[in-house]
Every structure is written in structure tokens, then in C-alpha cells.
Amino acid sequence: MNFVSLDWMIVGVMLAVLVVMALISNRYTKSVADYLAAGRVGGRYMMTMASGMVWIGAINIVAMFELYHTAGFTAMWWVLLTTPLTLYINISGWGVYRLRETRALTTAQYLETRYGKGIRVLSGALAWLTGMINFGIFPAIGARFFVHFVGLPESFAWLGLQWQTFPLVMAILLGVSLFFVFAGGHVAVIVTDCLQGMFTQVAAVIIIVVMGYLWFDWDRIIDVLTSAEAGKSLLNPLDTGNIGDFSFSYFIIGVIGFGFTILSHLQSQAYIASSKTAHEFRMGSALNQWRWQALCLFFLVLVLCAMVAMQHPDFAHIGAVINEQLNGISPDAADATRQQLTITVALGNILPRGIAGLFCAIMVAALISTYDSFMHTWGAVFLQDMVMPFRKKPFAPKQHIWFLRLSILGVAVFAFIYSLFFKNQESILMYFALVNNIWLGGSGAVILGGLYWKRGTALAAWTTLILGAVLGILGIVLTQGWPVWFDGTKFPVNPQWIWLWTIVISTTTYIFVSLLGNVRFNMDKLLHRGEYAVESDQTHVDRQTRWHHKIFAIDHEFNRFDRFTAYSIVGWFLFWAAFFGVGTVYATVAKPDDTVWASFWHVYLWILFVLAVITTVWFTWGGTRDLIYLFRSLGSQERDASDDGTVKGEHE
């Protein structure tokens, strides 16, 4: 076992704090709206920290390790271009702003209001099925990480029986996460996720400093990175023709898909609904782009340190130990499980005492934040969108909450069984792209079309969702069946491209079928505007919006500090986008060698480190402020028992 008492104590203290806060949160959960949307009182920094943790789960950290191990610094180069596009989507409030204006507790509730009950049930079923298959691999990957990082034995004797460690660890991790959801619904989830976000940010900076001092020898790092073969450069992004799935197209399709499916990732729906106003969530999403930069630095630093330990001649003895442990997992170097655990096993051998516990605590926090959010999401979708539409009489609030808990328990049981038996042979990110396409491929056109286009019809929604699901399933069949049909040959189109074509075909279908109808939907009523406005959802700022503000989607709801913040974030990423453009042209013409690229990346890492320190202090202060506000607001808020996600009446 790699852990010592100090490491276990760090993990234990972090968990104890979260348990106490979850129990406190239970006292403030008094209605279905509290359980599903935390009373709609979340501030921007809470959104930054809490909603950001949903996408920084243990499985996503392992996926990022896999990405940076395969692509190195070249992955960060393409992000210089794609992040400004992602930022513009976030700061403009694209999709998210209007969904929050509908006041729906789930995305499918909005779809029922817009298209009818049948679309709510169909979309709920498709999203739930896809989400369950997606979430199904989380427990396995999380458990494998802890077994191999901590150094637990494969089995142990207890009560006269021999127990397998892997399923037991899965059960414990799922059980702990389940406790947080049961304790206080989304109040407990958002509170503990916010705390975990602040802890992760601070701990990441500490680990970067310590590992930078102990293992981050730049000369050794360059020795390792420059040993990559031609076409698979880890420094020069223009020499990556043979890098495989994580080429330039992967990142471009990713940002296109992000804009198209921004509301289709239902794990975010509770956070959108939980925000004080649509504007607060928009600001939180924009701030999260800076936070993500700091975390990318954290992932990359750990991967670089691990690669030095595994590949540099000065540490051949450590590399031999790491390879021996990996061979114990799988002797096949191409095995997906081995690839996913390579950096994990390496870190287990090089992180010093205390720092190992701190990193493990980050992983526990990341795992819990993802598990509880996903279980909360898919449990809510099953009851709210697949069961409730068929009930003529709503549940009483306490009864409703208990049925939500039972639904969430069902999600946990399914995920345990699925992880126990399913063996994934794709990289994690490619698995996500392949499976999620069943729902994501067609849903974006339906969700966004209904929010922005009054001519979108129910028939178009039915046609698009079904077609998207069929294309998604066809992609899975081709990808999995091709090697069987053609002697092990991999399907020539990777899941990311299948996803893009599904998006294009689905969007075209939605527009064409809608134009065949003659619908003019009442958008003011849907979005609670004009005579339908809800006072508590309004942001009042007495400022005019000038033309140069509109260019960056900075409207009348931005006060002076908001505008300063927004322009700082936009300016930061526009600078790097311009640098990307100039740098790409220069590199194409001058063809600089790896030494030039290495010098740039060295400076860039220092810049990201300074940003990480600043944002850690800033967002930790803001998150603490928002936590206090949330408890104060929930303590004095009057509840509406009818606010339970049921659509009352029909929109015109």
C-alpha cells in the first residue's frame, strides 16, 4: 500500500467536513424546488466552483491524463483557439440564459411546455438511456484509480471469506456519493460541490508548487518530449499528423458540439435552475473559463512529472517498477485500461507523503461531485420526465422527495452492475463521444430551436430526436462491429466525426420539417417576458448598452464590476487567440524546431501558474460569500408547494 497515516488523515478530514455540511444542508431542504434546484439562490462564484466540479470528476481527470499523455503540449495549442469561442458562448448566455428564463426545473419540463407531453417523455427517455450508459463506466474507472493509486490488494480475507477489492471500492464510492444526494438533494450537492471546488483549487496550486520543486526539471522534460516519433510531436502542434484521435479536428468539432449541445448535457440543468438569475449563471460560466485554465495546468504538470519518471534514463529504476505494475494490470500495451491507468500508477510511485493524500483527496472530491450530480440528474429525469407526466395527481412534497431518492438509488445500482460487467475498449473521451451521440446528436436542434425560433414544431422535434437516436445507434454498431466484420480493422471514422455529421443532419431536419408547418409560438410566455415577467428573476442595472458592448454580448445587465470582469476575461482569451493565429502562420512559414516550441511552452506555463494563484484567491473568497448568502436566503425563503416541475396548463 502506497499510503501512510498522514495521507489517510487528509482524505478523512476533507470527507468529514463535507459530511457535516451535507447534514446542515438537509435542514434547508423543505420543498421539491429545493431538492431539485436549491431554491434558485445560487451566486456566480458558487456556479463557477460547483457546476465546474461536475466536469472535473475523477473519470474526467483520468481522461485528461490520457489526453496530455498522448498529445502533450500540442493539445494546449489548439485550446488557445477553441477557448475564446467557448468563452463567447458562455458570456453571451447562449441557450442557458433563455432556459433559466423558462423557470423549468428540468430541460424536459421546458420541452413539454414548448412541444407537448410526448416530447418530454421521449427526450427524457433518450437522455436517461444515454446518461445511464455514459455514467455506467464511471464507478469502474474511479475504483480502478483508487485501487492502483493507493496500492490496495486485489483481494483480502475477512470473516473467513475472500473478498474482491474492486467491487467493494466501487460500492463504497457510490455509497458515499449517494449519502450526499439523500441528505439534502441539490442543496447538499451544490454546497458540497462548491466546497470541493474551493478545496480542489487550493490543493492543486499546492501540488503544482511541490511537484514543480521535486520533479519538474525542464531539461529532463524536454529530453522526454523530444523523443516522440515524427508525426506524433508532443511540442510542435503542426507535427501531429499521426497522433490519432486527438488531432486538431477533435478540438474544433468539440467546440462546435459544445455550442450545439450546451443545454443537452443535463448534468448542468440543476445548476442552471439553481442560479439566482440567468445573468448570475452566465457570469459564473465565464469565470469558469479562467478556473479551467488553472486546472489544465495542474493536469499537465502531473502528466509531465509522471512521464519523466517513466521514460527518462535518470529514473530507469522507477520506470521499471511502474512498467512492472502496469504489466500486472495488462501485459498488452495497447489495452484501453492500461492506457487509462498509466499516469495514475506513475503518480502513485512519485508523489511524496502528504502530497499523495492531498491528490487523493482531490480525486475523492472530484469523484463525489460527479457521482452525486449525475445520480441527482438521472434520478430526477426518470421521475420528473418519464413518470410524472403520466400522473394525474401530483405527489405531496415529502412523498415526491422520497420517490426522487428511490429513483436516484436505482441509478446507483445500475451504475454498479454496469461497471462490474462492461469492459470498455475505447479511450474515455472517444467512448463519451460515441455513446452520448444517441442523445446529443439530435437534441441540440430541438432544445435551442424551441428557445430561439417561434416556428419550431412538435413534429420537427419528434422527427429530429428519433433520427438523431437512430444515427447515434448506427454509429455504435459500425464502430463496434467493424473490427469483427473486417479482421480487427478499426472503423475509419472516429466517434467525434460521427457526432458532427449527426449534428448537421439533425439540424437540417429540424429546420426543414418546421418550415412545413405554420406555428407561431408565444415566446414571451415561455420566457416569462413582458406581461409574464417574474420580478425575482430580473437583474436591474441602470446602464445603457453601447455598440461595442454588444459585440462581446455584454448587455444592460452587466454592472461596472461585471463589465470589468467580462472585458478582462474576453481580453485575455482574445490575446491568446491572436497569438495562436500569428504563431500558426509563423510556424508554417519558418518551421521552428522543438527548441523554440519548448521555450514558448516554458513561459506559457509560468503565465498559467500566476493566473492559477490569482483565481484561486479570488474564487475562494467569492465562493465563501455565496455559500453564506445561500443559507441565509433558504432560511428566510417562502416555499411554493406547486413548484414541483409539473407543467400547469398549455402555452398558447
Instruction: Convert the pLDDT of each residue in 34-62 to its tens digit.
Output: 888 788 888 889 988 887 676 666 667 77
- The 3-state DSSP class for residue 557 equals coil
Grid coordinates in use for 121?
Answer: 417523455
What is 5-438+522-540's CATH number? Answer: 1.20.1730
Sequence-ordered alpha helix ranges (H) in 215-354 = 218-225, 248-260, 269-274, 278-311, 316-329, 336-350
Distance of CA 560 to the CA centre of its chain: 30
Band (pLDDT 50/70/90 cuts) for residue 448 is very high
Share of the chain above pLDDT 70, in %: 91
Band (pLDDT 50/70/90 cuts) for residue 199 is very high
> What mean pLDDT comes out for the span 402-407?
89
Predicted pLDDT at 650: 46
Can you tell me the distance from the alpha carbon of 548 to that of 572, in angstroms, rounded to the nearest whole number? 17
Residue that the C-alpha cell 443559507 belongs to: 631
Band (pLDDT 50/70/90 cuts) for residue 337 is low
> What mean pLDDT comes out for the span 451-477?
91
DSSP string, 494-528: -HHHHHHHHHHHHHHHHHHHHHTS-----HHHHTT
| Choice among 161-175, 536-550, 598-612 with the minimum mean pLDDT | 536-550
- Residue 295 pLDDT exceeds 70: yes
Residue that the C-alpha cell 474492486 belongs to: 166
Band (pLDDT 50/70/90 cuts) for residue 2 is low
Whether the full predicted model's pTM is greater than 0.75, yes or no, is: yes
The phi, psi pair for 457, rounded to 5°, reads: -115, 160
Q: Are 11 and 361 in contact (CB under 8 A)?
A: yes
Predicted pLDDT at 332: 59
| Choice among 144-148, 186-190, 615-619, 648-652 with the minimum mean pLDDT | 648-652
